[in-house]
Structure 1
Amino acid sequence: MPLISNKGIQMPSSPIRKLVPFAESAKKRGVNVFHLNIGQPDIKTPQIALDAVKNNTIKTLSYARSEGSEEYRKKLTHYYKKHQIEVTKEDIVVTTGGSEALLFTIGSITDPGDEIIIPEPFYANYNGFSVASGVKVIPVISKIEDNFALPKIEDFEKLITKKTKAILICNPGNPTGYLYSKEELEKLKKIVIKHDLFLIADEVYREFIYDDLEHTSILSLNGLEEHAIVIDSVSKRYSMCGARIGCIVSKNTSFIETSIKFAQARLSPPTYALLASEAALDTPQIYFDDVKAEYVTRRNTLINELQKIEGVKVTKPKGAFYCVVELPVKDTDDFAQWILEKFNYNNETIMMAPASGFYSTEQEGKNQVRIAYVLKKEDLISAVKILREALKVYNS
């Protein structure tokens, strides 16, 4: 029998999606499942984006430019300017989602065997993208006790080797919801300049910042022009996960020229999705104000309800729409499967993402889950009640 590659064997399963078969089985048994596992907002996509596809007059659905249409990239520069980010259309490469942006970035700056330092817990697919590129993730652990703040710079520095090519952060963070301050980013700026590394920032949740705090993009830091790479996406910003449009933004011309070669190899991003994404840039500010207010309500509801459960530890996210929750169980992989397979409360149950999949350090996060507060307030209250009752049964 032909053999599967070592790379394929090492490719991790998604902690977000691996429990889907158990959720589907529960639904077939007539059990209602509250999905807390995946960052799929229930917020409506801006009508202006949907109408751009519905009302188009395209006669031939042809290839787009590999780096994305000039019109879209030019319009993106105006969007970034509103966020105090000064870039040109030549600094942008449009990708098929933020996922492809990460793959192009890793492919452009690393060779097999190279290393990228990432504060953990981190977005689970960083592991998968690194394995696909033959790159090693070097984790630096942030702790729930510190609200998942940036680890000490000394912790980063002692991990840097000749093989280190970049530091990768998500700001605000998935899965923690942590928002890096400008002071923390300045510390990272100093270390990447000192060691001549790239600083990659996944900023796809830029719009979702709470408690009157402000987001600082690494592209706004002076002196970081040759080092900064931003990963962006329309998926969460406009609730357009299915469009699969993202981009890479960087002022490093050599990096951009290299990433365009990867873009050319896959030909082009999808034309209809480009149309929708370009139109979405005209979404009025009131849309974001309303969405943010809704997420603040959901966050506060979730945190307040979770804090009522004895033995549960949770931090208050400052951005995005996720939180990492520590549960009074030894193995949340087992618990998350059990709650779908063998438990229901009033014929309802919940689906969560075990947090071990958001770490690359062995045995870290085994008693944690990631919860996405993408459901309405009433459903979140019901979901936490189910969790409370499930913990009583499971631990008995």
Structure 2
Amino acid sequence: MPKISQKGVQMPASPIRKLTPFADKAKLEGKKVYHLNIGQPDIETPEGMLSAIKGIDFKVWAYTPSEGTLSYRKKLTGYYNKIGYNISPENIIVTTGGSEAITISMMACLDPGDEVIIPEPFYANYNGFANQNDIIVKPILSYIDNGFALPPIADFEKLITPKTKAIIICNPNNPTGYLYSKVELEALKELALKYDLYIFADEAYREFCYDGRLFISPMHLSGLDENVIVMDTVSKRYSACGARLGCLITKNKAVIAAALKFAQARLSPGMVEQIAGEAAVDTPDEYFEAVNKEYTLRRDTLVNALNKMDGVYCPNPGGAFYVVAKLPIDNADKFCQWMLEDFSYKNQTVMMAPATGFYSTPDAGLNEVRMAYVLNNDDLNEAMICLAEALKIYPGKR
């Protein structure tokens, strides 16, 4: 029988989705499962996006330009310039989801064997994308005790070799919700300029910053035009995960030219998605104000409930809609599976993502889980009651 590739063997399973069979079985057994494992918001998609799709009237569902339609890129330019990016449509390539923005950025900027430094825990699919492109991830630990702040620049420098070509940050962060400060980003800027590195900035959660904290992008920093590639998506911003629409943005003309060739190879992003994306840019500020208020309430519910549990610690995130919590358990993978297979409270249980899948360092995050506060507040309260009861009887409690 033919064998699969070594790359197929090495490709990591998603920590977000790998427990799905156990959740499905729990549901078949009649249990209610509170899904805190995946960043699928229950917030309604803006009506403007849905109306734009309903109003489509074309005779041929045609290819679009590989870089995306000019009309959509013009609308995006207006959105980004409103927040100070100072770009033109030529600085944007529209992609099939934020995932393709990441993979095209990697392919355009990095060769097989090149290294990329990523503060961990990090979005688990960075490992998968790097594996696809034969890129080596050099993780640098951040710690729950200080809320997962950016590690010291001296620690970054210890990892830099002649093969190091880029640093990836997700701001606000998935999975931790940490919001990087201007001071931290300025320190990264100096590092990137000193060693001639790219900064890949994943900004999927840009609109979700809490407690009056300001979002700062590397695009806001002077002197970095040739170094920064922003990777973005409509998935989280507009609660439109199924649209699979994103973009990469850079002022580096050589990167744009190389990225366009990869975009041409996959032909084009979807027409319908870009029509919806154009309408999304016109979403009123009131939509985001209401969403932020709702997510702030949910965050406070989750964080307060977790920190009241015996032996649990959860830092208060400044953005996104995730937390990483430290639990008094022996192994997060075992615990999350046990919650689905063997536990129920009032015929309910909770699905979480083991944090081990968000680390590259072996054995890191063994007693941590990621939770997404994408359920309504009543369900979050019930989920936290359920989790508290589970921790009382878990066989591997520490």
Fold equivalence (TM over 0.5): yes
> Tell me, what secondary structure is at the counterpart of 1:14?
coil
- Give the gaps of 5 or more residues in structure 1: none
What is the aligned partner in structure 2 of residue 32 from structure 1? Answer: 32
CA distance in 2, matches of 1:66, 1:50: 24
Measure the CA separation in 1 of the matches of 2:190 and 2:316: 28
Which residue number in structure 1 is paired with residue 171 of structure 2? Answer: 171
Amino acid at match of 2:208: F
Trace 1:233-312 onto structure 2 (pairs within 5 A): 233-312=233-312
Deviation at 1:217, TM superposition (A): 1.1
Q: What's the secondary structure of 2:193's corresponding residue?
A: helix
Q: Deviations over 1:168-194 (max 9, x none)?
A: 000000000000001100000000100
Alignment of 1:1-396 (within 5 A): 1-395=1-395
Which string of whole-angstrom CA distances, capped at 9 and with x for unpartnered residues, describes residues 45-66 of structure 1? Answer: 0111011111111110000110
> Could you tell me how far apart the structure 1 residues matched to 2:115 and 2:123 are?
17
Q: Structure 2: which 5+ residue stretches go unaligned?
A: none
2:360 match: secondary structure: coil
Q: Give the counterpart letter for 1:266 in structure 2.
A: R
**How many pairs align?**
396
Post-superposition offset of 1:80: 0.6
The amino acid of 2:102's aligned partner reads: L
Question: 1:100 corresponds to which letter in structure 2?
Answer: E
Alpha-carbon separation, structure 2, partners of 1:364 and 1:165: 25
Deviation for aligned residue 1:384: 0.8
Distance (whole Å) between structure 2 residues aligned to residue 146 and residue 376 of structure 1? 28
Taking the aligned partners of 1:238 and 1:380, their CA distance within structure 2 comes to 21
Q: Displaced runs of 4+ in structure 1, greater than 3 A?
A: none
Partners in 1 of 2:331 and 2:80 — Cα distance? 42
Deviation at 1:144, TM superposition (A): 0.4
Deviations 1:91-140 (A, max 9, x none): 00000000000000111111111100000000000000000000110001
Take 1:205 and 1:96, find their aligned partners in 2: how far apart are those partners?
17
CA positional deviation for 1:368 = 0.4
Percent of aligned pairs with the same residue?
57
SS of equivalent to 1:201: strand
Q: For residues 256 and 204 of structure 2, what CA distance do their matches in structure 1 show?
A: 19
Q: Distance in 2 between matches of 1:79 and 1:110?
A: 29
Question: 2: distance between equivalents of 1:312 and 1:84?
Answer: 40
In 2, Cα distance between the equivalents of 1:217 and 1:326?
29
d(CA) in 1 for partners of 2:226, 2:359: 29
Determine the C-alpha separation between the residues in 2 that align with 1:58 and 1:182: 46
If the length of structure 1 is used for normalisation, what is the TM-score? Answer: 0.99
TM superposition score normalised by structure 2: 0.99
1:119 and 1:58 map into 2 onto residues whose CA distance is 46
Residue 156 of structure 2 aligns with an amino acid whose one-letter code is F
Distance 1:161 1:330 in 2: 35
Instruction: Provide, for residues 258-283 of structure 1, a one-character-per-residue CA deviation record: whole Å limited to 9, x for no partner.
Output: 00111000001111111111111111
Distance 1:126 1:94 in 2: 19
Q: Which amino acid aligns with 1:31?
A: K
Amino acid of the structure 2 residue aligned with 1:172: P
